[in-house]
Amino acid sequence: MVAKKTYNYQDFMIFFTFFLFWISIQFGEVVEDLLAYVMVVSIGILHGANDLLILSTKDKIDKTFRKNLIIYISIIVLCVFIYLISPFIAILLFVLLSAYHFGEEHLGETINLNFLFNVVYFLAYGLFIFSLLFYQSIMDVDTIMIELTGATFTKLQIETTLITSAIFLFTGSLYLVLAKKNTVEIFVKEFFYLLLLFLVFKTSSLILGFAIYFIFWHSIPSIIHQIEFISGDLSKKNTLFYVKKAMIYWVISIAGLLILYQLVPQIKLFATVVFVILFAVTAPHTWVMHKMKN
């Protein structure tokens, strides 16, 4: 049953990736970015809106909810503090944490050798995704990074990250196949997935490219796993329960996003506000998801 649900979602994911790939060819950047913003501020923020519910679900087992809540809030405060001290370091941490989180969500049920190998492999996967996206949209990356931090990533840094992460992925995958931990078919499939993402990133804007991966390859699978963890299985009733519980946090996040965009005169790009909000919630969300999966 689980395999069938996974298979069905993969079909859904591939279909919508191709559909948005077609959208990126047919329409201009304004339409692409509008579509991307709608997806990110709806499903994207929603997928991280039930962290406290997940912690309280774990509380039924380990009785440490209060401690976890303090840690969760402390991580958010620390992220804001780091951003105020050094926006560039904050964004670098956002990329690193998001990279690991992307890898853990996408490959966590497939790759499970040991803690160190898993961390390096998941991080390499996520960094490959980010550097592949950034490499195809360097000018847009420069615009957003300069507004966010006053600095940007150089083309050489992005290329080095792309090549290095690819080497780690290839070497790690080869080891897993030779050690008979995973079958070669898994990595052939992942290779074609990456090839599809390359085509999407090449034809779409930076914002839409990010949104396609963030929503269909990360957020929706994460929501499915969260619903199964909280309620036991994926059903219409449990999905509605998940959305209802997330709604207050989601509304607060959207309100904060709009207030920040209106009150901070230095911010001219809406994308900048979106990334600031994502950074504030990524670190604690990554921690919660790691606890949930382990």
The dihedrals phi and psi of 151, each to the nearest 5 degrees, come to -140, 175
For the CA atoms of 14, 136, 109, 50, the dihedral, rounded to the nearest 10 degrees, stands at: -90
What pLDDT does residue 266 have? Answer: 58
What pLDDT does residue 60 have? Answer: 57
DSSP character at residue 110: T
The dihedrals phi and psi of 282, each to the nearest 5 degrees, come to -65, -45
Decide if 94 contacts 282 (C-beta within 8 A).
yes
What pLDDT does residue 251 have? Answer: 86
As a whole number of angstroms, the distance between CA 150 and CA 143 comes to 10
What pLDDT does residue 117 have? Answer: 96
DSSP character at residue 165: H
**Boundaries of domain holding 153:** 2-293
What pLDDT does residue 96 have? Answer: 94
As a whole number of angstroms, the distance between CA 54 and CA 129 comes to 27
Per-residue DSSP letters for the chain? -HHHHHHHHHHHHHHHHHHHHHHHHHS-HHHHHHHHHHHIIIIIHHTTTTHHHHHHHHHHHH--HHHHHHHHHHHHHHHHHHHHH-HHHHHHHHHHHHHHHHHHHHHTTT--S-HHHHHHHHHHHHHHHHHHHHHHTHHHHHHHHHHHHS----HHHHHHHHHHHHHHHHHHHHHHHHTTSS-HHHHHHHHHHHHHHHHHHHHS-HHHHHHHIIIIIIIHHHHHHHHHHHHSS--HHHHHHHHHHHHHHHHHHHHHHHHHHHH-TT---HHHHHHHHHHHHHHHHHHHHHHHH-
Arithmetic mean of pLDDT over the chain: 87
What whole-number percentage of the chain has pLDDT above 70?
Answer: 90
What pLDDT does residue 267 have? Answer: 58
**pLDDT tens for residues 144-184?**
888 888 889 999 999 999 999 999 999 999 999 999 999 99
As a whole number of angstroms, the distance between CA 240 and CA 60 comes to 22
Quickly count: other Cβ atoms within 10 Å of residue 69's Cβ: 15
CB-based burial label for 28 (10 Å; 0-12, 13-18, 19+): exposed
What pLDDT does residue 11 have? Answer: 84
**pLDDT tens for residues 2-21?**
444 554 778 888 999 999 98
What pLDDT does residue 63 have? Answer: 61
What pLDDT does residue 62 have? Answer: 57
The answer to whether residue 57 scores a pLDDT higher than 90 is: no
The answer to whether residue 217 scores a pLDDT higher than 80 is: yes
pLDDT mean over 122-137: 97
As a whole number of angstroms, the distance between CA 101 and CA 247 comes to 23
Of 249 and 99, the one with more pLDDT: 99
What whole-number percentage of the chain has pLDDT above 90?
Answer: 48
Name the pTM for this structure: 0.89
Distances (CA, A) of 240 to 71, 120, 246: 28, 36, 10
pLDDT mean over 248-275: 72
Residue with tokens 């009733």: 237
Q: How many domains does the chain have?
A: 1
Which of the four pLDDT bands, split at 50, 70 and 90, describes residue 248?
Answer: confident
Cα–Cα nearest to 106, from 221, 195, 26, 13: 221
Of 119 and 148, the one with more pLDDT: 119
The answer to whether residue 27 scores a pLDDT higher than 80 is: yes
Please state which of the ranges 100-104, 117-121, 142-146, 223-227 shows the lowest mean pLDDT.
142-146
The answer to whether residue 261 scores a pLDDT higher than 70 is: no
Which of the four pLDDT bands, split at 50, 70 and 90, describes residue 54?
Answer: confident
